[in-house]
Amino acid sequence: MRIGFLHRKFKNRTTSSFQVILFGFLVLILLGALVLMLPACSRDGTATPFGDTLFTAVSASCVTGLVVRDTATHWSLLGQVVILILIQIGGLGVITVAVTFFRLSGRRISLAQRNMMQQSISAPQVGGIVRRTGFLINGAIIIELTGALLLLPVFARDFGFWKGLWYSLFHSVSAFCNAGFDLMGVREKYASLTGYAADLWVNTVIMLLIIIGGIGFLVWEDLRRNRLRVHRYRLQTKLVLVTSTILILVPAALNYLLEYRTLPLGERILTSLFQSVTTRTAGFNTADLTKMSEPGILLMIVLMLIGGSPGSTAGGMKTTTVAVLFLAGVTVFRRRDDVECFRRRIGQDVIRNAGTILFLYLMLFGIGSAVLCRAEGLPLLTCLFETGSAVGTVGLSLGITPGLHLSSRIVLMILMFLGRVGALTLVYALLPGGKNPPGRKPQETITVG
């Protein structure tokens, strides 16, 4: 009887955690939109319409990168700072940042707060969550500052020391948080990072920041604790590393074969690799996306939907979701009962969750694309690209975002929000948990496929 009470109490607390995470992101977005409306946040000193600031706040908080106002030319230094703060909080997680400040005040972290922290960073258990969160925050700050220092020599050379310093910090945080916001300006030769397509140093630093931010905080911890002792890695770490490597190298090879044939050999290899890395959630680009072939665009859409890894700054369905579903398919092909990987068995609840996530993302992606296509009268592939970028929190665009009507912008904002907080998080937050029936119904076989 006591065990049943504790189980119900834990389930209620978990549901409450999802509601707090959802509410936290909504408050962050609203505050960001209101602050960005201040005349001091725009370069011309006039108030930016709420619709534009709301879209910008959603995109920044959900670390997406889709914009209706150019970040470099419309927003003042204050506006850019506000956007960077939204990116940082959205990337690390609202609950993580809030509880960190709470902890710095010297107050004790309650069990309910620890549970919210666990849900926020997708940790496997509540135990040690405060230590993990501290490691996450400290690691993020060190990595972002290191990235800024590595970018500084190039940006200081091109834009002057102080402007280069700000550009280095902004792009380091944006890359680590997989946000894709840039300060290069649409009218400059460096639009996004196209001016650095052949710069090995800038490409390498940005790609490393994107990868480190996108593999997940739990993977960091595993790598720090076990270093090169691969046999001690968690199953999740192994799956993330293997899947991420495949999703970088295979699309890079396909990009090289399908695209960028007019580029010199070295630049073609670098561009192919960079676009493979950035497409899964970062949103930077070193190539003109409007000149890509339809197969190349389709490949990018698939990568955007997959996204990064659980507990990271990235969005999308997650690499582990795709890996689990692939392994489940292999199990069916081999006519075996259990899904196995690296001599471990994967539970049926994990497989069900992976299938549900795939269904939710494809449903959101399909409905959003249909609405955009109908409302804007644009080609379906263009709309698929835009909605895939939004729900995967990527930020890449074929240039249609600023010209979209209000209804289409609302669709994209909803997709960006759901892509960041997670469609399952919204379901758990809004729907009460049902009770399992006391017995199991009779089983009957149906034919599928």
User: Tens digit of pLDDT for each residue in 211-255?
Assistant: 999 888 888 888 888 888 888 888 889 999 999 999 999 999 999
Q: Which helix (H) or strand (E) holds 277?
A: helix 265-279
- What element of type H or E holds 209? helix 200-214
Residue 301's Cβ-count burial label (10 Å; 0-12, 13-18, 19+) is buried
Burial 109-140 (b: 16+ CB within 10 A, else e): eeeebbbbbbbbbbbeeeeebbebbeebbeeb
pLDDT > 70: percent of the chain: 82
What integer is the mean pLDDT of 261-283? 90
22: its two tokens: 């959802």
Q: Which phi and psi (to 5°) does residue 342 adopt?
A: 50, 45
**pLDDT of residue 207 exceeding 70:** yes
Under 8 Å between Cβ of 64 and 315: yes
238-241 CB contacts, 8 Å cutoff, 24+ apart: 238/341, 238/342, 239/319, 239/320, 239/323, 239/324, 239/341, 239/342, 240/215, 240/216, 240/309, 240/310, 240/319, 240/320, 241/215
Q: Is the pLDDT of residue 148 over 90?
A: yes
Distance CA 273, CA 17 (A): 39
Angle between helices 111-121 and 2-36 (to 10 degrees): 70
Question: Dmax of the chain from CA atoms?
Answer: 73
Whether residue 342 has pLDDT greater than 90 = no
Q: How far is CA 296 from CA 147, 301, 400, in A?
A: 30, 9, 18
Using pLDDT thresholds of 50, 70 and 90, give the confidence band for residue 410: very high
Instruction: Record the tokens describing residue 366, joined without a space.
Output: 């399909």
Per-residue tokens: 132: 């993990």
Q: What is the DSSP string of 348-366?
A: HHHHHHHHHHHHHHHHHHH
**What pLDDT, on the 0 to 100 scale, is given for residue 434?**
57
Helix (H) / strand (E) element for 319: namely helix 319-333
Give residue 202's pLDDT: 94
pLDDT tens figures, 180-190:
899 987 655 44
**Residue 437: what pLDDT?**
65
Neighbours of 60 (CB within 10 A): 33
- Whether residue 417 has pLDDT greater than 50: yes
For the whole model, what pTM was predicted?
Answer: 0.88
| Overall average pLDDT of the 28-48 stretch | 94
Q: pLDDT tens-digit profile of 279-304? A: 988 889 888 888 888 999 999 999 99
Rounded mean pLDDT, 52-72? 92
> Can you tell me the mean pLDDT for 410-431?
78
Residue ranges of domains in the chain = 8-122+129-430
Give pLDDT, residue 221.
83
The tens digit of pLDDT for each residue in 86-95 reads 999 888 876 6
Contact by Cβ (8 Å): 187, 73: yes
Number of H helices, E strands in the chain: 18, 2
- Evaluate whether 381 touches 27 at the Cβ level (below 8 Å): no
User: Any idea of the CA torsion for 99, 105, 106, 108, to the nearest 10 degrees?
Assistant: -30
Q: Is the pLDDT of residue 205 over 90?
A: yes
Please check whether residue 429 is in contact with residue 19, taking contact to mean a CB–CB distance below 8 angstroms.
yes
Which residue is it, tokens 């390498």? 204
Per-residue pLDDT tens over the stretch 362-398? 999 999 999 999 999 999 999 999 999 999 989 898 8
Q: What integer is the mean pLDDT of 87-109?
A: 70
- Asked if residues 21 and 116 have their Cβ atoms less than 8 Å apart, the reply is yes
Lowest-confidence pick of 16-20, 259-263, 266-270, 367-371: 16-20
Q: Look at residue 142 in the predicted model and tell me its pLDDT.
A: 93
**Model confidence at 6: pLDDT above 60:** no
Tens-digit pLDDT profile for residues 121-142 = 566 665 566 677 777 888 889 9
The pLDDT of residue 440: 72
Two structure tokens written together for 284:
């930077």
Please state, as a whole number, how many other Cβ atoms lie within 10 Å of the Cβ of residue 89.
21
For the ranges 89-93, 163-167, 433-437, the maximum mean pLDDT occurs at 163-167
Please report, in angstroms and rounded to a whole number, the separation of the first and last CA atoms in the chain: 44
Nearby residues of 433 by Cβ (< 8 Å), 6 or more positions away:
11, 12, 15
- pLDDT surpasses 90 at 107: no
Mean pLDDT of the chain: 84
Distance CA 356, CA 416 (A): 19
| Contact present, 386 and 372 (Cβ < 8 Å) | yes
